[in-house]
Amino acid sequence: MMRMAGICLLLLQIVSVIHARFVPSRWLAWAPNDYAIGYKMQVQIDGRALSADEIGNRYHLLSEGVYENPVQNMVDIMRQREQTYGRNDHAQVVLVYRPNGGSPQEWRWPEK
């Protein structure tokens, strides 16, 4: 029984690692500090731009910095926030990021 539980935990991780090969995010997939995403986010609610502190409170992320997971992880966080706790806020989010020092890219919420 104990052994089976341990094997299940290890197998779940292997499944998660394999799954990560087919998706851009890296949740539970053992990719520690393998990414460096320079980013800056801007958030507007009812036409008013949120301050850095307000953005921090909203997502529990810095409004600007370097994120050491894939940008998709950050997108997942912001999207989930806007789809759940903040779905009535109708926030407009612009995330400008440079994955591993590459050319700047952008993600926007609401997504088209």
* Start-to-end CA span in the chain (Å): 48
User: What's the rounded Cα separation, in Å, for the pair 106 and 103?
Assistant: 10
* 103 φ, ψ (degrees, to nearest 5): -70, 150
Q: Is 5 in the site for other proteins (CB under 8 A)?
A: yes
The two tokens of residue 21 are: 């090969």
**Do residues 40 and 52 make contact, with C-beta atoms less than 8 angstroms apart?**
no
91 alpha-carbon distance from chain centroid: 17
Candidate residues 101, 103, 111, 112; the one interacting with other proteins per rule CB under 8 A: 101
Q: How many residues make contact with other proteins (CB under 8 A)?
A: 40
**Residue 42 CB, nearest approach to other proteins (Å):** 20
Q: Is 13 in the site for other proteins (CB under 8 A)?
A: yes
Q: Is 34 in the site for other proteins (CB under 8 A)?
A: yes
Binding site for other proteins (CB under 8 A): 2-3, 5-7, 9-10, 13-14, 17, 20-21, 26-36, 38, 59-61, 66, 73, 76-77, 80-81, 84-85, 98-102
